[in-house]
Amino acid sequence: MQLEKDLYVTDLKISNVANQPYVIEAIGRYPSRITLNEASLTKFAIEPTRDLVGSSIVVALQSKDGEQIGPHDVLISRIERVDRRKVHRIPNTSSMDETEYRVMFYTPKKDPSSFAVPCPNYELRFDLTENEYREIMRSDATAIFSVSCRKR
């Protein structure tokens, strides 16, 4: 399975913290956070400059075979289907049904008891189409997805 989403970069934080040197905050419909180091920025050809804020990056996730989790791999933390009914009473009573699909991905820690955030680290939250939702639901619950990013 492959999933590709555009994210609008809202913030870039650069620090001297070893496990969080470059934090990119971006939004599609929902906020996401991508923490990268210099090697990851080079791999994805992303320049950590002021021009990055206000631009778009494309995040692509590709399911992969095997059980080895690499540095740019994520797991599914949550899949949601939200059904809503909006009722309007003026001038006549009517209703409108709406369904939203969402998925959240995260980078697993090598040592679950550690408080340190791994780098690279991905906290991704995407809206899905109904077809993307069905495809993810057909995949294994422990599926590993490889992440790649590029500036649009």
Question: Any idea where the domains of the chain sit in the sequence?
Answer: 2-79+104-128+139-151
Encode pLDDT of 24-68 as tens digits: 999 999 999 999 999 999 999 999 988 999 999 999 999 988 778
Provide the token pair at 88: 């309007």
The answer, yes or no, to whether residue 111 has pLDDT greater than 90, is no
- Distance of alpha carbon 85 from alpha carbon 119, whole angstroms: 41
pLDDT at 139: 86
pLDDT at 93: 80
